Structure 1
Protein backbone atom coordinates (compact mmCIF):
# COMPACT_ATOMS: atom_id res chain seq x y z
CA UNK A 1 0.00 0.00 0.00
CA UNK A 2 1.47 3.35 -1.09
CA UNK A 3 2.19 5.98 1.57
CA UNK A 4 0.45 9.30 0.91
CA UNK A 5 2.29 12.42 1.92
CA UNK A 6 1.38 15.16 -0.57
CA UNK A 7 -1.80 15.87 -2.56
CA UNK A 8 -1.93 18.61 -5.22
CA UNK A 9 -5.26 19.83 -6.59
CA UNK A 10 -6.29 21.90 -9.59
CA UNK A 11 -9.66 23.19 -8.37
CA UNK A 12 -11.34 23.56 -11.73
CA UNK A 13 -14.99 24.28 -12.45
CA UNK A 14 -16.05 26.95 -9.95
CA UNK A 15 -17.20 29.41 -12.59
CA UNK A 16 -19.04 26.79 -14.64
CA UNK A 17 -20.79 25.48 -11.52
CA UNK A 18 -21.81 29.02 -10.55
CA UNK A 19 -23.27 29.78 -13.98
CA UNK A 20 -25.14 26.47 -14.08
CA UNK A 21 -26.66 26.57 -10.60
CA UNK A 22 -26.60 30.22 -9.45
CA UNK A 23 -26.33 32.20 -12.71
CA UNK A 24 -23.10 33.74 -11.39
CA UNK A 25 -19.46 32.67 -11.74
CA UNK A 26 -18.67 34.43 -8.46
CA UNK A 27 -21.19 32.31 -6.59
CA UNK A 28 -19.30 29.28 -7.87
CA UNK A 29 -16.04 30.61 -6.40
CA UNK A 30 -17.81 31.22 -3.10
CA UNK A 31 -19.21 27.69 -3.06
CA UNK A 32 -15.82 26.26 -4.03
CA UNK A 33 -14.33 27.67 -0.83
CA UNK A 34 -16.63 25.35 1.13
CA UNK A 35 -15.14 22.41 -0.73
CA UNK A 36 -11.65 23.64 0.20
CA UNK A 37 -12.59 23.51 3.88
CA UNK A 38 -13.99 19.98 3.50
CA UNK A 39 -10.80 18.76 1.79
CA UNK A 40 -8.57 20.39 4.42
CA UNK A 41 -10.43 18.57 7.21
CA UNK A 42 -10.31 15.28 5.32
CA UNK A 43 -6.57 15.69 4.63
CA UNK A 44 -5.94 16.07 8.36
CA UNK A 45 -8.09 13.00 9.11
CA UNK A 46 -6.08 11.00 6.59
CA UNK A 47 -2.76 12.23 8.00
CA UNK A 48 -1.70 13.92 4.76
CA UNK A 49 1.16 16.32 5.50
CA UNK A 50 1.10 18.55 2.39
CA UNK A 51 -1.84 19.90 0.39
CA UNK A 52 -1.12 22.15 -2.59
CA UNK A 53 -4.05 24.09 -4.03
CA UNK A 54 -3.87 25.82 -7.42
CA UNK A 55 -5.85 28.92 -6.52
CA UNK A 56 -4.78 31.48 -9.16
CA UNK A 57 -2.42 30.98 -12.09
CA UNK A 58 -0.27 33.53 -13.91
CA UNK A 59 -2.67 33.07 -16.84
CA UNK A 60 -5.75 33.85 -14.74
CA UNK A 61 -5.01 37.59 -14.99
CA UNK A 62 -6.68 37.33 -18.42
CA UNK A 63 -10.06 36.91 -16.73
CA UNK A 64 -12.52 39.82 -16.27
CA UNK A 65 -11.27 42.32 -13.67
CA UNK A 66 -14.50 42.09 -11.65
CA UNK A 67 -14.06 38.34 -11.26
CA UNK A 68 -10.39 38.70 -10.26
CA UNK A 69 -11.27 41.34 -7.66
CA UNK A 70 -14.00 39.11 -6.26
CA UNK A 71 -11.60 36.15 -5.99
CA UNK A 72 -9.04 38.19 -4.07
CA UNK A 73 -11.71 39.69 -1.80
CA UNK A 74 -12.93 36.15 -1.08
CA UNK A 75 -9.39 35.15 -0.11
CA UNK A 76 -8.95 38.26 2.05
CA UNK A 77 -12.17 37.51 3.94
CA UNK A 78 -11.24 33.84 4.33
CA UNK A 79 -7.85 34.66 5.84
CA UNK A 80 -9.29 37.35 8.10
CA UNK A 81 -11.99 35.02 9.43
CA UNK A 82 -10.23 31.67 9.49
CA UNK A 83 -6.53 32.29 10.21
CA UNK A 84 -6.81 31.93 13.99
CA UNK A 85 -8.69 28.65 13.57
CA UNK A 86 -6.14 27.43 11.02
CA UNK A 87 -3.34 28.26 13.46
CA UNK A 88 -5.08 26.46 16.34
CA UNK A 89 -5.35 23.35 14.17
CA UNK A 90 -1.54 23.35 13.76
CA UNK A 91 -1.81 24.05 10.01
CA UNK A 92 0.95 25.90 8.19
CA UNK A 93 0.25 28.25 5.26
CA UNK A 94 2.84 28.73 2.53
CA UNK A 95 2.40 30.75 -0.65
CA UNK A 96 3.80 29.50 -3.97
CA UNK A 97 3.92 32.20 -6.61
CA UNK A 98 4.61 35.89 -6.68
CA UNK A 99 2.83 38.25 -4.28
CA UNK A 100 1.76 41.02 -6.64
CA UNK A 101 -1.61 41.76 -5.09
CA UNK A 102 -3.17 44.60 -3.10
CA UNK A 103 -1.33 45.85 0.01
CA UNK A 104 -4.02 44.29 2.20
CA UNK A 105 -3.85 40.86 0.59
CA UNK A 106 -0.03 40.87 0.52
CA UNK A 107 -0.03 41.77 4.21
CA UNK A 108 -2.52 39.00 5.08
CA UNK A 109 -0.56 36.40 3.10
CA UNK A 110 2.76 37.41 4.71
CA UNK A 111 1.14 37.47 8.15
CA UNK A 112 -0.43 34.03 7.61
CA UNK A 113 2.95 32.57 6.60
CA UNK A 114 4.76 34.08 9.60
CA UNK A 115 2.06 33.19 12.12
CA UNK A 116 1.86 29.54 11.07
CA UNK A 117 5.51 28.88 10.15
CA UNK A 118 6.13 26.47 13.05
CA UNK A 119 2.91 24.46 12.57
CA UNK A 120 3.33 20.86 11.52
CA UNK A 121 0.07 18.91 11.24
CA UNK A 122 -0.66 19.95 7.65
CA UNK A 123 1.09 22.36 5.30
CA UNK A 124 -1.22 24.07 2.83
CA UNK A 125 0.65 25.46 -0.17
CA UNK A 126 -1.46 28.13 -1.85
CA UNK A 127 -0.40 28.51 -5.49
CA UNK A 128 -1.26 32.16 -6.16
CA UNK A 129 -0.09 34.02 -9.24
CA UNK A 130 1.84 30.82 -9.85
CA UNK A 131 3.11 29.46 -13.15
CA UNK A 132 5.50 26.54 -13.43
CA UNK A 133 7.32 27.87 -16.50
CA UNK A 134 8.15 31.13 -14.67
CA UNK A 135 9.23 29.14 -11.63
CA UNK A 136 11.65 27.06 -13.72
CA UNK A 137 13.07 30.08 -15.58
CA UNK A 138 13.67 31.90 -12.27
CA UNK A 139 15.32 28.81 -10.81
CA UNK A 140 17.77 28.68 -13.73
CA UNK A 141 18.46 32.42 -13.35
CA UNK A 142 19.35 31.88 -9.67
CA UNK A 143 21.66 28.99 -10.59
CA UNK A 144 23.40 31.15 -13.21
CA UNK A 145 23.66 34.12 -10.84
CA UNK A 146 25.16 31.96 -8.09
CA UNK A 147 27.48 30.22 -10.58
CA UNK A 148 26.61 26.74 -9.43
CA UNK A 149 26.39 23.50 -11.38
CA UNK A 150 23.18 22.77 -13.28
CA UNK A 151 21.79 19.47 -12.02
CA UNK A 152 18.53 18.13 -10.58
CA UNK A 153 19.51 18.71 -6.96
CA UNK A 154 20.49 22.37 -7.49
CA UNK A 155 17.45 23.05 -9.64
CA UNK A 156 15.11 21.65 -6.97
CA UNK A 157 16.83 23.77 -4.30
CA UNK A 158 15.96 26.88 -6.30
CA UNK A 159 12.32 26.02 -6.96
CA UNK A 160 9.60 27.55 -4.80
CA UNK A 161 8.82 24.02 -3.60
CA UNK A 162 12.27 23.58 -2.02
CA UNK A 163 11.92 21.36 1.09
CA UNK A 164 8.45 20.23 -0.03
CA UNK A 165 8.21 16.63 -1.29
CA UNK A 166 6.85 16.10 -4.80
CA UNK A 167 3.10 15.38 -4.93
CA UNK A 168 2.10 11.72 -4.76
CA UNK A 169 -1.27 12.61 -6.31
CA UNK A 170 -2.56 15.31 -8.61
CA UNK A 171 -6.35 15.71 -8.68
CA UNK A 172 -7.98 17.91 -11.30
CA UNK A 173 -11.72 18.45 -11.17
CA UNK A 174 -13.92 19.92 -13.90
CA UNK A 175 -13.58 17.22 -16.57
CA UNK A 176 -10.49 18.85 -18.10
CA UNK A 177 -7.41 16.74 -18.80
CA UNK A 178 -4.38 19.02 -18.75
CA UNK A 179 -1.80 20.36 -16.27
CA UNK A 180 -2.28 24.08 -17.04
CA UNK A 181 1.28 25.16 -16.16
CA UNK A 182 1.07 23.65 -12.66
CA UNK A 183 4.10 22.02 -10.95
CA UNK A 184 5.45 20.71 -14.26
CA UNK A 185 8.77 19.58 -12.75
CA UNK A 186 7.31 18.29 -9.48
CA UNK A 187 4.55 16.17 -11.08
CA UNK A 188 6.94 14.01 -13.13
CA UNK A 189 6.03 10.83 -11.24
CA UNK A 190 2.75 11.81 -9.58
CA UNK A 191 -0.35 9.69 -10.05
CA UNK A 192 -2.90 11.84 -11.89
CA UNK A 193 -6.65 11.64 -11.32
CA UNK A 194 -9.00 13.60 -13.60
CA UNK A 195 -12.42 14.04 -11.99
CA UNK A 196 -15.54 14.87 -14.01
CA UNK A 197 -17.25 16.74 -11.18
CA UNK A 198 -16.88 20.51 -10.97
CA UNK A 199 -14.95 21.64 -7.88
CA UNK A 200 -17.95 22.84 -5.78
CA UNK A 201 -19.59 19.42 -6.32
CA UNK A 202 -16.48 17.48 -5.27
CA UNK A 203 -17.12 15.72 -1.95
CA UNK A 204 -15.12 14.07 0.80
CA UNK A 205 -16.42 10.73 -0.50
CA UNK A 206 -14.88 11.50 -3.92
CA UNK A 207 -11.61 12.44 -2.23
CA UNK A 208 -11.46 9.25 -0.16
CA UNK A 209 -12.23 7.16 -3.26
CA UNK A 210 -9.19 8.65 -5.04
CA UNK A 211 -6.98 8.14 -1.97
CA UNK A 212 -7.99 4.47 -1.76
CA UNK A 213 -7.39 3.98 -5.49
CA UNK A 214 -3.97 5.62 -5.22
CA UNK A 215 -2.90 3.42 -2.32
CA UNK A 216 -3.40 0.32 -4.48
CA UNK A 217 -1.61 1.63 -7.59
CA UNK A 218 1.65 -0.13 -8.47
CA UNK A 219 4.26 2.64 -8.65
CA UNK A 220 7.36 1.63 -10.63
CA UNK A 221 9.30 4.92 -10.99
CA UNK A 222 10.92 3.55 -14.15
CA UNK A 223 11.45 0.07 -12.77
CA UNK A 224 9.57 -3.04 -13.89
Structure 2
Protein backbone atom coordinates (compact mmCIF):
# COMPACT_ATOMS: atom_id res chain seq x y z
CA UNK A 1 0.00 0.00 0.00
CA UNK A 2 1.30 3.47 -0.90
CA UNK A 3 1.78 5.68 2.14
CA UNK A 4 -0.20 8.87 2.43
CA UNK A 5 1.61 12.00 1.32
CA UNK A 6 1.32 15.60 2.34
CA UNK A 7 -1.37 17.38 0.34
CA UNK A 8 -0.20 19.82 -2.29
CA UNK A 9 -2.71 21.61 -4.51
CA UNK A 10 -2.26 21.36 -8.26
CA UNK A 11 -1.57 25.00 -9.08
CA UNK A 12 1.09 26.85 -11.06
CA UNK A 13 2.85 28.19 -7.95
CA UNK A 14 3.50 24.76 -6.43
CA UNK A 15 5.82 22.82 -8.77
CA UNK A 16 7.83 19.73 -7.97
CA UNK A 17 7.13 16.15 -7.00
CA UNK A 18 3.77 15.69 -5.29
CA UNK A 19 3.53 12.07 -4.17
CA UNK A 20 -0.04 10.85 -3.77
CA UNK A 21 -2.44 12.90 -5.92
CA UNK A 22 -5.39 14.55 -4.25
CA UNK A 23 -7.73 14.03 -7.21
CA UNK A 24 -7.59 11.14 -9.67
CA UNK A 25 -9.97 10.72 -12.61
CA UNK A 26 -10.37 7.54 -14.63
CA UNK A 27 -11.81 6.97 -18.10
CA UNK A 28 -12.98 3.38 -17.67
CA UNK A 29 -12.59 1.98 -21.18
CA UNK A 30 -12.49 -1.54 -22.62
CA UNK A 31 -15.51 -3.38 -21.19
CA UNK A 32 -16.82 -4.32 -24.60
CA UNK A 33 -13.46 -5.51 -25.91
CA UNK A 34 -12.91 -7.54 -22.74
CA UNK A 35 -16.22 -9.34 -23.30
CA UNK A 36 -15.66 -9.83 -27.04
CA UNK A 37 -12.26 -11.43 -26.44
CA UNK A 38 -14.01 -14.03 -24.27
CA UNK A 39 -16.98 -14.61 -26.55
CA UNK A 40 -19.32 -12.97 -24.04
CA UNK A 41 -22.06 -10.35 -24.49
CA UNK A 42 -21.03 -6.75 -23.86
CA UNK A 43 -23.07 -6.61 -20.66
CA UNK A 44 -20.69 -9.23 -19.17
CA UNK A 45 -17.86 -6.74 -19.67
CA UNK A 46 -19.85 -4.03 -17.94
CA UNK A 47 -20.58 -6.35 -15.01
CA UNK A 48 -16.92 -7.23 -14.65
CA UNK A 49 -16.12 -3.54 -14.95
CA UNK A 50 -18.34 -2.91 -11.92
CA UNK A 51 -16.11 -5.30 -9.96
CA UNK A 52 -13.11 -3.21 -10.98
CA UNK A 53 -14.90 -0.12 -9.67
CA UNK A 54 -15.18 -1.74 -6.25
CA UNK A 55 -11.49 -2.71 -6.21
CA UNK A 56 -10.29 0.71 -7.34
CA UNK A 57 -12.46 2.59 -4.86
CA UNK A 58 -11.04 0.47 -2.05
CA UNK A 59 -7.45 0.97 -3.22
CA UNK A 60 -7.95 4.72 -3.66
CA UNK A 61 -9.19 5.06 -0.10
CA UNK A 62 -6.27 3.03 1.23
CA UNK A 63 -3.79 5.19 -0.71
CA UNK A 64 -5.16 8.40 0.76
CA UNK A 65 -6.63 9.84 -2.43
CA UNK A 66 -9.01 12.64 -1.51
CA UNK A 67 -11.22 12.50 -4.60
CA UNK A 68 -11.79 9.81 -7.25
CA UNK A 69 -13.79 10.69 -10.36
CA UNK A 70 -15.05 7.92 -12.65
CA UNK A 71 -16.36 8.48 -16.18
CA UNK A 72 -19.32 6.11 -16.06
CA UNK A 73 -21.65 7.34 -18.82
CA UNK A 74 -20.89 10.13 -21.26
CA UNK A 75 -23.40 12.34 -23.03
CA UNK A 76 -22.32 10.59 -26.25
CA UNK A 77 -23.07 7.10 -24.87
CA UNK A 78 -26.77 7.58 -25.68
CA UNK A 79 -25.78 6.74 -29.27
CA UNK A 80 -25.17 3.12 -28.29
CA UNK A 81 -27.75 0.40 -29.04
CA UNK A 82 -30.85 0.58 -26.87
CA UNK A 83 -30.25 -2.90 -25.48
CA UNK A 84 -26.81 -1.91 -24.21
CA UNK A 85 -28.13 1.32 -22.69
CA UNK A 86 -30.84 -0.66 -20.90
CA UNK A 87 -28.19 -3.07 -19.59
CA UNK A 88 -26.10 -0.13 -18.33
CA UNK A 89 -29.10 1.45 -16.63
CA UNK A 90 -29.87 -1.87 -14.96
CA UNK A 91 -26.31 -2.10 -13.69
CA UNK A 92 -26.54 1.46 -12.39
CA UNK A 93 -29.69 0.62 -10.46
CA UNK A 94 -28.07 -2.51 -9.07
CA UNK A 95 -24.88 -0.68 -8.08
CA UNK A 96 -26.74 2.13 -6.32
CA UNK A 97 -28.87 -0.40 -4.47
CA UNK A 98 -26.13 -2.84 -3.50
CA UNK A 99 -23.13 -0.59 -2.87
CA UNK A 100 -24.59 2.41 -1.07
CA UNK A 101 -24.35 0.86 2.40
CA UNK A 102 -20.71 -0.05 1.82
CA UNK A 103 -19.83 3.42 0.55
CA UNK A 104 -21.52 5.02 3.54
CA UNK A 105 -19.89 2.62 5.98
CA UNK A 106 -16.46 3.44 4.51
CA UNK A 107 -17.04 7.16 4.94
CA UNK A 108 -17.19 7.89 1.22
CA UNK A 109 -19.13 10.89 -0.04
CA UNK A 110 -20.88 10.38 -3.38
CA UNK A 111 -21.06 13.25 -5.87
CA UNK A 112 -22.52 13.28 -9.36
CA UNK A 113 -21.48 15.48 -12.25
CA UNK A 114 -23.51 15.64 -15.45
CA UNK A 115 -27.16 16.06 -16.38
CA UNK A 116 -29.46 13.64 -14.57
CA UNK A 117 -32.58 14.96 -16.32
CA UNK A 118 -32.14 12.50 -19.20
CA UNK A 119 -32.42 9.48 -16.90
CA UNK A 120 -35.65 7.78 -15.90
CA UNK A 121 -37.13 9.23 -12.69
CA UNK A 122 -36.38 6.16 -10.56
CA UNK A 123 -32.66 6.34 -11.39
CA UNK A 124 -32.50 10.09 -10.77
CA UNK A 125 -34.24 9.58 -7.41
CA UNK A 126 -31.89 6.75 -6.42
CA UNK A 127 -28.91 8.94 -7.25
CA UNK A 128 -30.27 11.90 -5.31
CA UNK A 129 -30.96 9.73 -2.25
CA UNK A 130 -27.46 8.25 -2.39
CA UNK A 131 -25.88 11.69 -2.64
CA UNK A 132 -27.95 12.99 0.27
CA UNK A 133 -27.21 9.99 2.47
CA UNK A 134 -23.44 10.26 2.06
CA UNK A 135 -23.21 14.06 2.03
CA UNK A 136 -21.53 14.33 5.44
CA UNK A 137 -18.87 11.65 4.83
CA UNK A 138 -15.30 12.91 4.73
CA UNK A 139 -12.88 10.01 4.13
CA UNK A 140 -12.99 10.29 0.34
CA UNK A 141 -15.22 11.81 -2.34
CA UNK A 142 -16.35 9.49 -5.13
CA UNK A 143 -17.53 11.43 -8.16
CA UNK A 144 -19.51 9.60 -10.83
CA UNK A 145 -19.83 11.32 -14.20
CA UNK A 146 -23.27 10.46 -15.60
CA UNK A 147 -24.55 11.87 -18.87
CA UNK A 148 -21.51 14.10 -18.66
CA UNK A 149 -19.74 15.97 -21.43
CA UNK A 150 -17.03 18.53 -20.73
CA UNK A 151 -17.87 20.80 -23.65
CA UNK A 152 -21.47 21.05 -22.46
CA UNK A 153 -20.24 21.71 -18.91
CA UNK A 154 -18.14 24.63 -20.19
CA UNK A 155 -21.05 25.94 -22.28
CA UNK A 156 -23.32 25.86 -19.23
CA UNK A 157 -20.69 27.71 -17.19
CA UNK A 158 -20.47 30.36 -19.91
CA UNK A 159 -24.23 30.75 -19.92
CA UNK A 160 -24.28 31.10 -16.14
CA UNK A 161 -21.64 33.83 -16.24
CA UNK A 162 -23.36 35.56 -19.17
CA UNK A 163 -26.60 35.59 -17.21
CA UNK A 164 -24.87 37.20 -14.25
CA UNK A 165 -23.44 39.86 -16.53
CA UNK A 166 -26.82 40.48 -18.19
CA UNK A 167 -28.49 40.89 -14.81
CA UNK A 168 -25.87 43.41 -13.71
CA UNK A 169 -24.59 41.15 -10.93
CA UNK A 170 -21.03 41.19 -12.30
CA UNK A 171 -19.07 43.12 -14.92
CA UNK A 172 -17.56 41.24 -17.89
CA UNK A 173 -14.03 42.22 -16.94
CA UNK A 174 -14.22 40.41 -13.59
CA UNK A 175 -14.62 37.04 -15.34
CA UNK A 176 -11.34 35.21 -14.96
CA UNK A 177 -10.20 31.60 -14.65
CA UNK A 178 -11.39 31.44 -11.06
CA UNK A 179 -14.86 32.63 -12.06
CA UNK A 180 -15.13 30.02 -14.79
CA UNK A 181 -13.86 27.32 -12.45
CA UNK A 182 -16.47 28.29 -9.86
CA UNK A 183 -19.23 27.83 -12.45
CA UNK A 184 -18.22 24.27 -13.35
CA UNK A 185 -19.71 21.06 -11.93
CA UNK A 186 -16.43 20.36 -10.15
CA UNK A 187 -16.13 23.71 -8.37
CA UNK A 188 -16.16 22.11 -4.90
CA UNK A 189 -13.57 19.43 -5.73
CA UNK A 190 -9.78 19.46 -5.39
CA UNK A 191 -7.77 20.38 -8.49
CA UNK A 192 -7.38 17.45 -10.84
CA UNK A 193 -3.92 15.86 -10.58
CA UNK A 194 -4.03 12.65 -12.60
CA UNK A 195 -6.18 11.30 -15.45
CA UNK A 196 -5.93 7.58 -16.22
CA UNK A 197 -7.42 6.00 -19.32
CA UNK A 198 -7.52 2.25 -19.73
CA UNK A 199 -7.63 0.03 -22.85
CA UNK A 200 -4.82 1.66 -24.81
CA UNK A 201 -6.83 4.57 -26.20
CA UNK A 202 -5.05 7.92 -25.94
CA UNK A 203 -7.62 10.68 -25.85
CA UNK A 204 -9.77 12.47 -23.26
CA UNK A 205 -13.10 11.90 -25.03
CA UNK A 206 -14.76 15.08 -23.80
CA UNK A 207 -13.88 14.39 -20.15
CA UNK A 208 -12.81 17.14 -17.73
CA UNK A 209 -11.18 19.21 -20.48
CA UNK A 210 -10.89 22.40 -18.41
CA UNK A 211 -9.88 20.57 -15.25
CA UNK A 212 -7.20 18.51 -17.03
CA UNK A 213 -5.26 21.54 -18.28
CA UNK A 214 -2.31 20.75 -15.97
CA UNK A 215 -3.21 17.22 -14.92
CA UNK A 216 -0.79 14.39 -15.53
CA UNK A 217 -2.08 11.94 -18.15
CA UNK A 218 -1.51 8.20 -18.00
CA UNK A 219 -2.68 5.83 -20.74
CA UNK A 220 -2.49 2.12 -19.97
CA UNK A 221 -3.19 -0.86 -22.21
CA UNK A 222 -5.10 -2.77 -19.52
CA UNK A 223 -8.80 -3.18 -20.28
CA UNK A 224 -10.98 -1.75 -17.52
CA UNK A 225 -12.34 -5.11 -16.26
CA UNK A 226 -8.72 -6.18 -15.64
CA UNK A 227 -7.78 -2.94 -13.87
CA UNK A 228 -7.60 -3.44 -10.10
CA UNK A 229 -6.04 -2.11 -6.93
CA UNK A 230 -2.55 -3.14 -7.99
CA UNK A 231 -2.99 -1.34 -11.31
CA UNK A 232 -4.05 1.81 -9.50
CA UNK A 233 -1.10 1.57 -7.14
CA UNK A 234 1.23 1.23 -10.15
CA UNK A 235 -0.33 4.37 -11.61
CA UNK A 236 0.28 6.23 -8.36
CA UNK A 237 3.92 5.16 -8.37
CA UNK A 238 4.23 6.52 -11.91
CA UNK A 239 2.61 9.79 -10.83
CA UNK A 240 4.87 10.12 -7.78
CA UNK A 241 7.91 9.94 -10.01
CA UNK A 242 6.89 12.85 -12.22
CA UNK A 243 7.97 16.43 -11.81
CA UNK A 244 5.22 18.99 -12.27
CA UNK A 245 6.37 22.44 -13.38
CA UNK A 246 3.07 24.01 -14.55
CA UNK A 247 4.88 25.93 -17.28
CA UNK A 248 7.75 27.00 -15.02
CA UNK A 249 11.32 25.73 -14.73
TM range (shorter): over 0.9
Higher RCO structure (Cα 8 Å, ≥6 apart): 2
78-87 or 126-135: which moved more?
A: 78-87
Q: How many residues align?
A: 224
Asked whether 1:72 is paired with 2:97, we answer no
Q: 1:91·1:119 contact (CA, 8 Å) conserved in 2? A: yes
Q: CA deviation at 1:180?
A: 0.2
TM-score normalised by length of structure 1: 0.98
Match of 2:147 in 1: 129
Q: 1:120 matched to which residue of 2?
A: 138
Distance 1:49 1:206 in 2: 18
Counterpart check, 1:2 vs 2:18: yes
Unaligned runs of 5+ in 2: 1-16
Deviation at 1:85, TM superposition (A): 1.5
Question: Structure 2 CA distance, aligned partners of 1:43 and 1:205?
Answer: 10
Distance in 2 of aligned mates of 1:115 and 1:21: 38
> Partner residue of 2:241?
216
Flag as ranges the 4+ runs of structure 1 deviating above 4 A. Answer: none
Match of 2:180 in 1: 155
The answer as to whether partners of 2:43 and 2:87 remain within 8 angstroms in 1 is: yes
Other-structure match for 1:94: 111
Structure 2 Cα separation of the partners of residues 200 and 85 of structure 1: 21
- Deviation of 1:216 after TM superposition, in Å, equals 1.4
Cα drift, residue 22 of structure 1: 4.1
1: distance between equivalents of 2:42 and 2:191?
32
1:202 is aligned, of 227, 230, 241, to: 227
2:11 is aligned to: none
1:170-192 CA-partner distances (Å, limit 9, x unpaired): 00001100000000000001110
1:45 to 54, 62, 82: 62
Tell me which residue corresponds to 1:17. 34
Maintained 8 Å contact 2:58/2:229: no
RMSD: 0.9
